[in-house]
Chains A and B, each alone.
Chain A
Amino acid sequence: MTTSARLPEPPGGRAAARRRGPAWLRFWPIAPAVVFLVFFFVYPATLLLGLSAVDAEGAPTIEHYARLFRSDLYVKVLLITLKVAGWTTLLSLVAGYPVAYLLATVRDNTRNMLIIWVLMPFWTSFLVRTFAWIVLLGRSGAVNDLLVALGLVEYPVRMIYNFTGVMIGMVHALMPLCVLTMLSVMINIDTNLTRAASTLGARGGQAFWRVYFPLSVPGVAAGGLLVFITALGFFITPALLGGRKDTMIVQLIIFQIHEVLNWAFAGAIALLLLVTVLAIFFLYDRLLGLSTLSGETAAAGAARRHGIIARAGGRLGRLFTAGMGNLCEAAARLFDRLRPHRADRPRRGLSRGALWVAGLLVVAFLAVPSFFVIPVSFTEEGFLNWPPKGFSLQWYELVFASAEWPKAAARSLVVAVCAASLGMLVGVPAAFVLVRQRFFGKTAVFAFLVSPIIIPNIIIAVSLFYLFSKLALVGTITGLVLGHTVLAIPYVVITVMALIKNYDRRLDQAAWTLGASRLRTFLHVTFPIIRPGLIAAFMFAFIISFDELTIALFVTGGDFTTLPKQMWDDAIMRVNPTLAAVATLLLVFMSCVIVLSEILRRRGAAR
Chain B
Amino acid sequence: MTHSKRGRPVSRASRRQFIKSAAAGAAIAGFPAIVRSAGDRKIVIRDPGGPFTPGFNAAFYEPFTKASGITAVGVQGPHEPTGMIRAMIEAENYTWDMALLSKASHQSLVNIGYLEKVVPEGGPGPNVSRIPDNMRGEYIVGDDVYATVMVHRADTPLGKNPPQDWKDFWNTKDFPGVRSMHKHPFDTLEFALLADGVAPDSAAIYPIDADRAFRKLDEIKPEVDIWWTGGAQTSQLIKTGEVDLLYTWNGRAQVAIDDGAPAVINWNQAMWTFEGWCILKGGPNVDLCREFIEYAAGAEAQSRFTPHVAYGPTNAGAYQYIPEERAKVLPTNPKYLSSMIETDTDWWGKNKEALGERFNQWLLT
A interface residues (Cβ-Cβ under 8 A, vs B) = 47, 50-51, 56-58, 71-73, 76-77, 80, 131, 134-135, 138-141, 158, 161, 239-240, 243-245, 247, 252, 255, 257-263, 381-385, 458, 462, 465-466, 469-478, 550, 553-554, 557-561, 565, 568-575
B interface residues (Cβ-Cβ under 8 A, vs A) = 1-4, 21-26, 29, 31-34, 46, 48-53, 75-84, 86-88, 90-93, 95-96, 105, 108-109, 111-112, 178, 183, 221, 224-227, 229-233, 235-236, 239-242, 251-252, 255-256, 258-260, 352-353, 356-357, 360-361, 363-364
Q: Which 5 A-B pairs have the closest CB atoms?
A: A572-B50, A557-B95, A472-B25, A469-B91, A469-B93
Residues of B within 8 A of A565 (CB): 76
A261-B86, A263-B2, A568-B49 known; 4 new pairs, CB 8 Å cut-off, are A383-B239, A476-B33, A569-B53, A575-B236
Q: A252 to B255, alpha carbons, bound, how many Å?
A: 29
Q: A258 to B87, alpha carbons, bound, how many Å?
A: 11
CB pair A247–B50 under 8 Å, yes or no, is no
Q: A134 to B2, alpha carbons, bound, how many Å?
A: 42
Most buried by A among B80, B353, B357: B357
Residue of B nearest to A381 (CB): B259
Rounded to whole Å, the gap between the CB of A528 and the closest CB of chain B is: 36
Given A559-B34, A569-B50: A469 and B92 interface contact (C-beta under 8 Å): yes
Rounded to whole Å, the gap between the CB of B361 and the closest CB of chain A is: 5
Rounded to whole Å, the gap between the CB of A337 and the closest CB of chain B is: 51
CB pair B242–A570 under 8 Å, yes or no, is no
Residue of A nearest to B227 (CB): A244
Residues of B within 8 A of A258 (CB): 78, 80-83
Given A244-B224, A260-B352: A574 and B256 interface contact (C-beta under 8 Å): yes
11 examples of A-B residue contacts, CB within 8 angstroms? A51-B2, A257-B83, A258-B80, A259-B80, A259-B82, A260-B356, A262-B353, A465-B84, A554-B87, A574-B232, A575-B236
Rounded to whole Å, the gap between the CB of A377 and the closest CB of chain B is: 16
Q: Which of A240, A263, A474 interacts with B229 by CB under 8 Å? A: A240
Residues of B within 8 A of A80 (CB): 364
CB pair B91–A465 under 8 Å, yes or no, is yes
Q: A575 to B46, alpha carbons, bound, how many Å?
A: 21
What total of A-B pairs shows CB separation below 8 Å? 203
Q: Which of A47, A244, A469 interacts with B363 by CB under 8 Å? A: A244
Q: A474 to B96, alpha carbons, bound, how many Å?
A: 12
CB pair A135–B240 under 8 Å, yes or no, is yes
CB pair A73–B33 under 8 Å, yes or no, is no
Residues of A within 8 A of B360 (CB): 73, 77, 247, 252
CB pair B93–A471 under 8 Å, yes or no, is no
Residue of B nearest to A254 (CB): B80
Residues of B within 8 A of A255 (CB): 356
Q: A571 to B230, alpha carbons, bound, how many Å?
A: 11
Rounded to whole Å, the gap between the CB of B213 and the closest CB of chain A is: 17
CB pair A73–B93 under 8 Å, yes or no, is no
Residues of A within 8 A of B178 (CB): 139
Residues of A within 8 A of B233 (CB): 134, 240
Rounded to whole Å, the gap between the CB of A262 and the closest CB of chain B is: 6
Q: A255 to B87, alpha carbons, bound, how many Å?
A: 16
Q: A239 to B360, alpha carbons, bound, how many Å?
A: 13
Q: Which of B3, B75, B183, B259 interacts with A58 by CB under 8 Å? A: B3
Residues of A within 8 A of B53 (CB): 569
Residues of B within 8 A of A47 (CB): 1
Q: A158 to B48, alpha carbons, bound, how many Å?
A: 34
Residues of A within 8 A of B79 (CB): 572
Rounded to whole Å, the gap between the CB of B69 and the closest CB of chain A is: 22
Q: A243 to B224, alpha carbons, bound, how many Å?
A: 10
CB pair B240–A138 under 8 Å, yes or no, is yes
Q: Which of B34, B86, B111, B221 interacts with A475 by CB under 8 Å? A: B34
Q: A560 to B44, alpha carbons, bound, how many Å?
A: 13
Rounded to whole Å, the gap between the CB of B178 and the closest CB of chain A is: 7
CB pair B255–A574 under 8 Å, yes or no, is yes
Q: A477 to B33, alpha carbons, bound, how many Å?
A: 10
Rounded to whole Å, the gap between the CB of B239 and the closest CB of chain A is: 5
CB pair B252–A573 under 8 Å, yes or no, is yes
Residues of A within 8 A of B46 (CB): 558
Residue of A nearest to B234 (CB): A574
Residues of A within 8 A of B78 (CB): 258, 550, 553-554, 558
Residue of A nearest to B222 (CB): A244
Rounded to whole Å, the gap between the CB of A407 and the closest CB of chain B is: 13
Residues of B within 8 A of A385 (CB): 239-240
CB pair A572–B48 under 8 Å, yes or no, is yes
Given A257-B83, A573-B255: A57 and B3 interface contact (C-beta under 8 Å): yes
Residue of B nearest to A242 (CB): B227
CB pair A261–B108 under 8 Å, yes or no, is yes
Given A472-B26, A575-B236: A134 and B242 interface contact (C-beta under 8 Å): yes
CB pair A138–B260 under 8 Å, yes or no, is no
CB pair B4–A58 under 8 Å, yes or no, is yes
CB pair A134–B364 under 8 Å, yes or no, is no
CB pair B361–A72 under 8 Å, yes or no, is yes
Given A71-B357, A466-B91: A571 and B232 interface contact (C-beta under 8 Å): yes
CB pair A259–B352 under 8 Å, yes or no, is yes
Residues of A within 8 A of B260 (CB): 381
Rounded to whole Å, the gap between the CB of B8 and the closest CB of chain A is: 15
Residues of A within 8 A of B221 (CB): 244
Residues of B within 8 A of A474 (CB): 33, 93, 95
Residues of B within 8 A of A239 (CB): 183, 229-230
CB pair A77–B364 under 8 Å, yes or no, is yes
CB pair A139–B109 under 8 Å, yes or no, is no
Residue of B nearest to A73 (CB): B361
Q: Which of B75, B86, B93 interacts with A558 by CB under 8 Å? A: B75
Q: A568 to B78, alpha carbons, bound, how many Å?
A: 9
Q: A50 to B226, alpha carbons, bound, how many Å?
A: 38
Residues of A within 8 A of B225 (CB): 158, 161
Residues of A within 8 A of B232 (CB): 571-575
